[in-house]
Amino acid sequence: VMMILLSASVLSWVIITLKYKVLKLAKEEAIRFEDQFWSGINLSDLYQQVKRKTSERRGVARIFEAGFAEYIRTHKSKTNTEMMLASVQRSMKVAVAREEDHLDSHLSLLATIGSISPYIGLFGTVWGIMRSFIALGAVEHASLAMVAPGIAEALIATAMGLFAAIPAVIAYNRYAEKVDRLSSTYENFAEEFATILQRQSSAQSNAADETI
C-alpha cells in the first residue's frame, strides 16, 4: 500500500510540473500570437510564417492555420461565402477540439489520484490496525505498548494517502480553470477570425460583381 501511495504521489508531482509548463507556454503563445494577429499584419504573410514554424504550431496559431488553409482551399474552388464560412468554421472547430484535448491530457489522472488515494490510505490503515490486533490476540500478556507501534505505522498510510491526494486535487482544480480560460480564448478567436474571413470574402465578391 505504501509503495502504491508513494508511486501515486511521485506521478502526481510529475504531472503537476509538466502541466504547469504546458499551460504556461500555451498562455504565452496565445498572447503572443494574438498580438501579432491584431497588429495589422497581412493574413497571407502570417499564414506563411505559421507554416514555417512546424514545431511551434499549437494553440491559437494552429487554429488560425486550419481556418486560413480551408479559406484558401474554398476560395480557389470559388465556393460562395456561406459555404466557405461553414467549411472554415468546421475546420477551426476540429482544431480547437484537438488543442483542448492537448490541454486536458493527464488532468483526469490527477483527478483519479486525488479521489482514490485517501481510500487506499484508509485501507492501509484498517489493514495495519487489524494485523496489530490479530498479533495482540496471539499473546497471553497483551499491552498497549505492544500494538502502539503497529497502529502508528498503520496511520502513516492515511497520512500518505492525504499527502498524495491534496496536491493532486488542488492542481487539478487550478489547471481545469486555466484550461477553461484557454478554451474560451481559442473559441473566441475562432469566431472572430471566421467573421474577418467572411467580411473579406464578401468584399472580394462585391468587388468582382462591380467589375463585371
| Model pLDDT for residues 49-62, shown as the tens digit of each residue | 888 876 666 899 99
Nearest-10 crossing angle of helices 81-104, 144-211: 160
Q: What integer pLDDT is reported at residue 192 of this predicted model?
A: 93
pTM for the whole structure = 0.81
Q: Above pLDDT 90, what percent of the chain? A: 52
pLDDT in tens, 97-141: 999 999 998 899 999 999 999 999 888 888 888 877 777 776 666
Domain ranges of the chain: 2-203
Looking at the predicted structure, is the pLDDT value of residue 142 above 70?
no
Could you tell me the CA-to-CA distances from 196 to 62, 189, 200, 201, 203 in Å, in that order?
17, 10, 6, 9, 11
